[in-house]
Amino acid sequence: MTRLLVPLVSCLVAGATAAWAVRNHPVFPLFSNGGSAPVDVGPLPRGLEAIDAESCGKCHAEIAAEWRGSLHAKAWVDPVFQDAYAVEPLAECRNCHAPENGGEEPTGRAAAEGVSCATCHVRGGQVLAGSGHARGVHGGSAGSPTAGPRQAPHAVFATRALDSSQMCAGCHQFNFLGFVTKSSGGHHVETDEVQQDTWGEWSRSRSATARETCQDCHMPWKQSANGGRQYRSHAFPGGFDEALVREAVTAEVTAREVAEGVEVAVTFHPGRIGHAFPTGDLFRRAELKAWLEGSEEPPVVFPLARTFRDRIEDCVPDPQGGPCKPLPEGQVLRVRRQSVDTRVPPPGSGPPAVRRATIRLPAAADAPRGISRIRWTFDYLLMPTPGAASAGGKPVHSVHIAGGELVATPAAPRSPERSSP
């Protein structure tokens, strides 16, 4: 461990001192797997009077303001999440959406702040920062003997764990829980079926090969308005950020006349993205719709989504890929299994697939065709409520990605038929 001692002057407590220590942990156990346990931030770090977001914001005003507008801040109170939690109030949900709940139903700060400052930055009486953060605070590299002092009320321990995509996997990579039925009730068990595979998708992508992390897109470096200090953004842009969504994927649409009508072909290309599109919650989907102008035929729909089916099984699968554990007689496992995945894979996962569908013309349309003009729209349906999703209703939020119109390539004229000899 490289250690750098620098005298610092407190901005809250006069005369206080603090120290930098750089720890190069390849993996730091900040979160449990898939929210299997709540976060224990530990005792109050020396030099701090409190670790709520308002207190942290007294010195980190820009970061606190960004966080307040993020989904991390609203993780517990978000109405879409609350709709889903009311149906299935599992501890794992609480432990990711209000990590500091202490193992109970979240109240007070744990509920109001969701994924807060301390959730990621406080452990065991220490304030943690990414190893690159030392560069931003001091103006030099972490551990540099020439780095100058900066006012701070507490010691800061820089760790590479906060720079790693593994940091995000605790809440963004987990498997489905299955339910083992018994004569009197039952219990949940982890299965081998992935529910959210965002980190796994990243690990198989070109971004991972290029050592681009989740933070590079979702916590980009920014310049502070006060003093020009560099820091990572805490706005956490994602599915609600329209510009980021539009950069993530593009659609190439073509059309040609065929005997049955107009065939529409769509090629989806991944853009600036390090995982599948869409990723995350299983309700998320995108749709490209195309229709023939002037026709009463319904549009053809190209969905980008995962489809699941509930299955009954007689053994409990091993999440690590081991043998399936048989269940006692009379007990079964109810588990959700993925049946179809039509999403756009991340860059580096093979060539894009071309998907086709035909807008059919009425059978009586024997008259010569006019110009076949196709209109299309491409939209991201972000997080519909479970009720809306099951009923085919409108999503809570959507992003219009692209749209347009084109003229279908005319069908080739038929060759004159030869008369029989």
Q: Do residues 63 and 138 share a domain? A: yes
Burial letters for 214-228: b for 16+ Cβ neighbours within 10 Å, e otherwise?
Answer: bbbbbbeebeeeeee
Tokens for 200, please give them.
């796994």
CA distances from 168 to 26, 35, 360, 377 (A): 14, 12, 46, 33
Residue 8 lies in a domain: yes
Neighbours of 120 (CB within 10 A): 21
The tens digit of pLDDT for each residue in 96-135 reads 999 999 999 999 999 999 999 999 999 999 999 988 754 5
Torsion of CA 223, 228, 230, 232, to 10 degrees: -40
Q: Do residues 359 and 391 share a domain? A: yes
> Does pLDDT of 203 surpass 50?
yes
Of 294, 323, 341, the residue at which a domain comes to its end is 341
The domain total for the chain is 3
What local confidence, expressed as pLDDT, does residue 8 receive?
24
Q: Do residues 111 and 131 share a domain? A: yes
What local confidence, expressed as pLDDT, does residue 23 receive?
33
Q: Do residues 268 and 131 share a domain? A: no
Contacts of 57 (CB under 8 A, 6+ apart): 63, 64, 65
Residue 367 lies in a domain: yes
Residue 414 lies in a domain: no
Q: Do residues 99 and 224 share a domain? A: yes
The amino acid at 278: P
pTM: 0.83
Residue 169 lies in a domain: no
Residue 290 lies in a domain: yes
Q: Is residue 204 within 8 Å of residue 225, measured between CB atoms? A: no
Q: Do residues 249 and 189 share a domain? A: no
User: For the domain that residue 271 is a member of, what is the CATH number?
Assistant: 2.60.40
Tokens for 350, please give them.
């093979």
The tens digit of pLDDT for each residue in 349-371 reads 888 889 999 998 866 555 456 77
Burial letters for 252-266: b for 16+ Cβ neighbours within 10 Å, e otherwise?
Answer: ebebebeeebbbbeb
* SS3 per residue for the chain: CEEECCCCCCCCCCCCCCCEEEECCCCCCCCCHHHCCCCCCCCCCCCCCCCCHHHHHCCCHHHHHHHHCCCCCCCCCCHHHHHHHHHCCCHHHHHHHCCCCCCCCCCHHHHHHCCCHHHHHEECCEEEEECCHHHHHHCCCCCCCCCCCCCCCCCEEEEHHHHCCHHHHHHHEEEEEEEEECCCCEEEEEEEEEEEEHHHHHHCCHHHHCCCCHHHHHCCEEECCCCCCEEECCCCCCCCCHHHHHHHEEEEEEEEEECCEEEEEEEEEECCCCCCECCCCCCCEEEEEEEECCCCCCCEEEEECEEEEEEEECEECCCCCCCCEECCCCCEEEEEEEEEECCECCCCCCCCCEEEEEEECCCCCCCCCCCCEEEEEEEEEECCCHHHHHHCCCCCEEEEEEEEEEECECCCCCCCCCCCC
Tokens for 209, please give them.
């090969």
- How many degrees, rounded to 5, is the angle at CA 186 between CA 181 and CA 188? 95
The amino acid at 401: I
Q: Using alpha carbons only, how large is the chain's radius of gyration in Å?
A: 27
Q: Do residues 262 and 381 share a domain? A: yes
The tens digit of pLDDT for each residue in 249-299 reads 999 999 999 988 999 999 999 999 999 999 998 888 999 999 999 888 899
Q: Which domain holds residue 355?
A: 242-305+342-407
Burial letters for 33-63: b for 16+ Cβ neighbours within 10 Å, e otherwise?
Answer: bbbeebbebeeebebbeebebebbbeebebb
Place of tokens 């720079």: 163
Neighbours of 325 (CB within 10 A): 11
The tens digit of pLDDT for each residue in 62-71 reads 999 999 999 9
Q: Do residues 158 and 63 share a domain? A: yes
> Does pLDDT of 183 surpass 60?
yes
Residue 283 lies in a domain: yes
The tens digit of pLDDT for each residue in 331-353 reads 999 999 999 999 999 999 888 88
CA 14 to chain centre: 42
The partner residues of 265 in beta bridges, in order of sequence, read 254, 356
Pairing of strands 325-326, 230-232: unpaired
How confident is the model over 392-398, as a mean pLDDT?
Answer: 71
Q: Do residues 90 and 205 share a domain? A: no
Place of tokens 């659609």: 251
> Does pLDDT of 12 surpass 60?
no
Residue 237 lies in a domain: no
Q: Do residues 27 and 108 share a domain? A: yes
Residue 413 lies in a domain: no
Of 232, 266, 282, the residue at which a domain comes to its end is 232
Q: Do residues 78 and 190 share a domain? A: no
Q: Do residues 30 and 105 share a domain? A: yes
